[in-house]
Structure 1
Amino acid sequence: MQAYRNLPELIAQSSEHFANIDDVNLDDLMERIGDSRVVLLGEASHGTAEFYEMRARITKELIEKKGFTIIAAEADWPDAAHIHHYIHGREQDALLQNAPFSRFPTWMWANQSMLEFTYWLRAYNAKIDNAKAESSQQKIGFYGLDLYSLYSSIEAVLDYLQQVDPKAAEVARDRYGCLMPWADDPVLYGRAVAAQQHNSCETEVLKNLQDLLKKRLEYSVANEEQFFDAKQNAKLIVNAERYYRTLYYTEGSSAEYNSWNQRDQHMFAALQAVLEFRGSESKAVVWAHNSHIGDARATQMSKRGELNIGQLARQEYGDKAYNIGFGTDHGTVAAASEWGGPMEIKPVQPSHVDSYERIFHEVATDNFLLPLRYPLHEDIRKELLPERLERAIGVIYRPETELQSHYFYASLPAQFDEYIWFDKTRAVAALPKQRRDKTFDTFPFGL
């Protein structure tokens, strides 16, 4: 390989260039992924079309060429269940003009790029049905990993128990009633408990989960998938109740009581539960923000005692986990200016001069895949290893305070196994949705 004069030129020599998403050849990427059981696909914002479309393209290849059957997303479990039902032919409304995906930020999953991908997933599963496959395990499942659906999960558990055990539903309804005064805003529940204005509901929600698990054999014999769904919702309620109390712990609390850790540990446990449910041969694709899927140990998060799904996946699966990050320099993004605010199409500022993004912007090509675990040039990891700024745009984007609000320090080659770059990107096209009045959640920068 020829000598390079500077880092952008080295990146150009060390990357696989492509003109557009539809035509990119992913054969070498599939070879690098190898026999990984978990592939984590990131995004540098929650509102960029290219990130969704490239993740969909990679996921299709993982399904068709590698036998992946699970898509696990940074989405609420009950909402994701509607996509799961749709792609299995049990739901007729694809991205759902009714309740699912109606809480802020609606555009994160209710967008045109996601809609087109769900059409493909439904058609793929239909082909398996038409082929009369021996096992439904070959069909693709779509699952939510997040824990913000406290009250819709309560509804789901109660609906399930009402079908299988009305007496148990009555008991569970009474226990969950402990949380109902804060149905419009569970953050206020955490505040009330922290201020000792109300006893915690921890015991009540744990009892409901324990009672459900005690009747596992009785309930699951009729429909194992429905029981699994109810069990995951019940676990989510337990973890969400704890999460909202954790929000009000003091800053000096240990990492165990860090609300970010509570959330990512829940998401990783949900991923493991799905893998176990789908069988020992199952393989999963994870769709989440870079801040969740890049190894936290390679970022300043670790200095705050924070972990994430990417770190936990590497610790659990080793080389069988493959982490892929995404980035962009400029363009447009769908985001809000404040929590619960309307979606806006905002211009993305050109990247900071001291950032990884600025280096990638100076590469003499617009789009590329940069292998980092298996580099095409032996010097690339060493040259990129020193910490630099990296940008993260969540559902909130504030360009006026971008350096303080949206940049953090990281070591890219330690954070990701691969990095995918789009120099200029466009905002996702949001689908029209009916918004609920309730906004149940809050988290830094909406990541």
Structure 2
Amino acid sequence: MPDTDEFDIYGAALPLEYEADLDPLLNRIGTRLDGARCVLLGEASHGTHEYYAWRAALTRRLIAEHGFSFVAVEGDWPDCWQVNQSVAGDPRAPRDPRDVLDGYRRWPTWMWANEETARFCRWLRDHNAGLPQGRRAGFYGLDVYSLWESLRAVIAYLSEHRPEHVEEAMAAYRCFEPYAEDPQSYAWESRMVPDDCEDEVLALLTRLRRPIGSGNPADELNAWQNAEVASGAERYYRAMMGGGAESWNVRDVHMADTLDRLLDHHGEGSRGVVWAHNTHVGDARATDMRAVEMINLGQLARERHGRDRVVVVGFAGGHGNVIAAPRWGAPAEVMPVPAPMPGSLEALLAKEIELDHALFIFSDGPDQDWLTARRGHRAIGVVYDPDCDRRQFVPTVLGDRYDALCWFAWTSALVPLHGETVPLGELETLPSGV
């Protein structure tokens, strides 16, 4: 006879084999009138097929059946904006969003330039094609990188719509120009000689926060957000050299602000889906991040919108394969993921759950031991060493970190669209590579 903890786990497991098995989770998310406004969908790695495929399956249903307005991902704004134009049917964009994703060149490209994301974006374009412009679902990037690309986008926008303000954008661009688009160089120099570009970027941002009057709300959003990215990136790179929690917090506050900006842009009653790593969407207060004063997107979304208006879904896997790189900037490889560390959440689920795929939905204020105890929960980043897998486990109180969990006993690698060609990614702050 199983003990109480084992019985609670086994009784809570729901099958997750078909899209219809997501019905209980959709019921938990609720309708536009009484349900969650934000649904945050995680991943335990940036290279696992099952996480991407099931996240896409749930998002398709949220958009098609529950009227969700957009998907916002842990990706660069300028790159994702091009995808957004394609899925929205903008005549200026490629008809096939796969072509846009295939053009991604910033390392790690496989995060979004993969078959799983391309398949979802093609579905989204087809779905949008039958809807009026104002009801088409968008695809956006939440992240703080792409400083130089965003500045160039702002200059191009102002040159067309308000040339009298181009000089403010050029002043910001010229300030960064000596660093040759090397964020580490800027971060180091501004630390050694505190003569940074903050004033120039803030002047540009102040200008873009006022309506320019181009007549196209989408183009105005793009210009404004690119200025926000430039401002956030400037702060991020300066904070990065100091170590600690500050640069991480700058990045996640930027993500939360961008999510709120997108909800405002899509208007009253809008609802958003987020795709990001578990370390961003799972409430930081339920992990050891809290002890070092780190906050994250999941925590901020709950604080800003209310616990009852945000549903956070974590993802976890046992063993199998993953796409990752052995070091920063290196080409991606298919790597083995070993059996989980004894005593971890994943080890517990692998032992107690007979289902290969399972869904768990937590009640408010759960009192089962497996939901209230602190256990390690695996988090694989873009850089990974299977021999050091034991270092990848984040102490977690599961029932506080998420509202639901998708479990996969065996995982497989996602399928990149192309190999790495230009390793230009920025260094991450702790937790490493997520």
Give the TM-score category using the shorter length.
over 0.9
| Of 155, 158, 161, the match for 1:161 | 158
Map residues 407-422 of structure 1 onto 2, 5 A cutoff: 407-422=393-408
Residue 427 of structure 2 is aligned to residue 431 of structure 1: no
| TM-score normalised by structure 1 residue count | 0.90
Deviation at 1:94, TM superposition (A): 1.6
- Structure 1 residue runs of 5 or longer lacking an equivalent are none
Partner SS state of residue 331, structure 1 = strand
Query: Where does residue 308 of structure 1 map in the other structure?
Result: 296
Partner SS state of residue 342, structure 2 = coil
Report the AA paired with residue 109 of structure 2: T
Report the AA paired with residue 365 of structure 1: L
Deviation at 1:146, TM superposition (A): 0.2
Report the AA paired with residue 317 of structure 1: H
Residue 111 of structure 2 is aligned to residue 121 of structure 1: no
Deviation at 1:211, TM superposition (A): 2.2
Partner SS state of residue 260, structure 1 = helix
Query: Where does residue 42 of structure 1 map in the other structure?
Result: 42
Q: Write the deviation string for residues 20-70 of structure 1: whole angstroms up to 9, x where unpaired.
A: 3x4442221111111110000000000001101101111111112211011
Note closer, same or farther for the CA distance 1:440–1:180 as it changes in structure 2 (3 Å cut): farther
Tell me if the contact between 1:105 and 1:395 (Cα under 8 Å) persists in the aligned partners. Answer: yes
Report the AA paired with residue 183 of structure 1: A
Tell me if the contact between 2:5 and 2:369 (Cα under 8 Å) persists in the aligned partners. Answer: no
Report the AA paired with residue 246 of structure 1: A
Partner SS state of residue 389, structure 1 = strand
Deviation at 1:225, TM superposition (A): 1.2
Tell me if the contact between 2:108 and 2:425 (Cα under 8 Å) persists in the aligned partners. Answer: no
Deviation at 1:188, TM superposition (A): 1.5
Query: Where does residue 232 of structure 2 map in the other structure?
Result: 239
Partner SS state of residue 75, structure 1 = coil
Map residues 253-272 of structure 1 onto 2, 5 A cutoff: 258-272=246-260
Note closer, same or farther for the CA distance 1:360–1:437 as it changes in structure 2 (3 Å cut): closer
2:164 and 2:152 mapped to 1: Cα distance?
A: 16
Residue 372 of structure 2 is aligned to residue 385 of structure 1: yes
Map residues 180-199 of structure 1 onto 2, 5 A cutoff: 180-196=177-193, 199=195
Partner SS state of residue 74, structure 2 = strand
Residue 318 of structure 2 is aligned to residue 321 of structure 1: no
Query: Where does residue 372 of structure 1 map in the other structure?
Result: 362
1:50 and 1:350 mapped to 2: Cα distance?
A: 17
Tell me if the contact between 2:322 and 2:335 (Cα under 8 Å) persists in the aligned partners. Answer: yes
Tell me if the contact between 2:107 and 2:425 (Cα under 8 Å) persists in the aligned partners. Answer: yes
| Of 203, 209, 214, the match for 1:213 | 209
Partner SS state of residue 419, structure 1 = strand
RMSD: 1.9
Tell me if the contact between 2:168 and 2:200 (Cα under 8 Å) persists in the aligned partners. Answer: no
Q: Write the deviation string for residues 251-296 of structure 1: whole angstroms up to 9, x where unpaired.
A: 5xxx6xx111000000000000000011021000010000000100
Q: Name the stretch that deviates more: 183-192 or 279-288.
A: 183-192
Q: Name the stretch that deviates more: 279-288 or 169-178.
A: 169-178
Note closer, same or farther for the CA distance 1:192–1:7 as it changes in structure 2 (3 Å cut): same
Q: Write the deviation string for residues 394-422 of structure 1: whole angstroms up to 9, x where unpaired.
A: 11111222222x11211011100001101
2:36 and 2:191 mapped to 1: Cα distance?
A: 43
Report the AA paired with residue 66 of structure 1: H
Partner SS state of residue 294, structure 2 = coil
Amino-acid identity (%)? 38
Query: Where does residue 77 of structure 1 map in the other structure?
Result: 77
Note closer, same or farther for the CA distance 1:322–1:250 as it changes in structure 2 (3 Å cut): closer
Q: Write the deviation string for residues 171-229 of structure 1: whole angstroms up to 9, x where unpaired.
A: 42133211122233212211111111x61000011111112234x1xx23521210111
| Of 286, 290, 307, the match for 2:278 | 290
Deviation at 1:365, TM superposition (A): 1.4
Deviation at 1:434, TM superposition (A): 6.8
Query: Where does residue 53 of structure 1 map in the other structure?
Result: 53
Tell me if the contact between 2:38 and 2:272 (Cα under 8 Å) persists in the aligned partners. Answer: yes
